[in-house]
Amino acid sequence: MELLIRPTPRHAARLAARMIAERVRADPGLVLGCATGSTMDAVYDALVELVEAGSLELRGCTTFNLDEYVGLPPNDERSYHHYMRTRLFERVGLASDRTHLPDGMAADLRAEAAAYEGIIRAAGGIDVQLVGLGKTGHIGFNEPLSSLMSRTREKALTPETRRQNAAFFGGDPDDVPSRALTMGVGTILDARTVIMVVTGAHKATILAAATEGPITARISATALQLHPNCTVVVDEGAASELEGHAYYRWIYEQEPEWERYRADPSL
């Protein structure tokens, strides 16, 4: 795991977008794993900026999202289907047959989960998976005690997660669906590269636990410590409780791998 600290959420989002763009330029048919949540707004804005500037083309990519609420139809404005269409897919011309999210309306959710795993496999697996970090330490909707080997399945959301996502549902946590279909921790770990983006001081404690704490099913993001190719991009606010922050800063400032990004003040 490599952890990169950037000054603001915007810098962090731009750096993550630039890392994705570089991979897509090398492989225009890349399979991209997408995430949702307010942290991702800035990442998708940064990707759209690159597309509009003519330096990136995403039309050849295939995408798979981490999760979707159970019981929300794709045209519901609060669904992740709607979020992805309006935040990314329509803005970069990604055709709907190339984009995939689990169907939270499926009559048989177990069959839907198994089918989702199947289409990921058929696409050759996920090359780059974007993830955010929930306040409970979840990645996707893998709430505490999710098996670190879990696959796509239905999961009950914690009261904390429903509170965290209430803003998207008019403010009342009781209006947030209580269940979701989510890729499992094992599904996420199968991605060849993982990029986790975490911003804001309200995430500082859980970020420190997720990256520097012991691996535990109580915090599914700790499983990323086992991933051979995971980069965590954070802003100063989220970094404020990291014990190893001096070393992480040194990595970005000194390691040759990050040299091409260092020269650009917008990153």
Give least dist CB 263 to ligand GLP, A: 29
- Rule CB under 6 A: say whether 69 interacts with ligand GLP: no
- Rule CB under 6 A: say whether 33 interacts with ligand GLP: no
Residues 89-118 that bind ligand GLP (CB under 6 A): none
- Whether the CB-CB separation of 107 and 120 falls below 8 Å is answered with no
Give least dist CB 265 to ligand GLP, A: 25
The span from the CA of 172 to the CA of 166, in Å, is: 5
- Rule CB under 6 A: say whether 161 interacts with ligand GLP: yes
Give least dist CB 198 to ligand GLP, A: 8
User: Which residue's CB is nearer to ligand GLP, number 41 or number 57?
Assistant: 41
Q: Which listed residue (9, 33, 37, 237) binds ligand GLP by CB under 6 A?
A: 37
95's CB contacts (< 8 A; 6+ apart) are 59
Give least dist CB 56 to ligand GLP, A: 23
- Rule CB under 6 A: say whether 219 interacts with ligand GLP: no
- Rule CB under 6 A: say whether 132 interacts with ligand GLP: yes
- Rule CB under 6 A: say whether 38 interacts with ligand GLP: yes
- Rule CB under 6 A: say whether 143 interacts with ligand GLP: no
- Rule CB under 6 A: say whether 141 interacts with ligand GLP: yes
* Strand duo 193-198 + 128-131: pairing: parallel
Residues lying near ligand GLP in the complex (CB under 6 A) are found at 35-39, 66-67, 132-134, 140-141, 161, 165
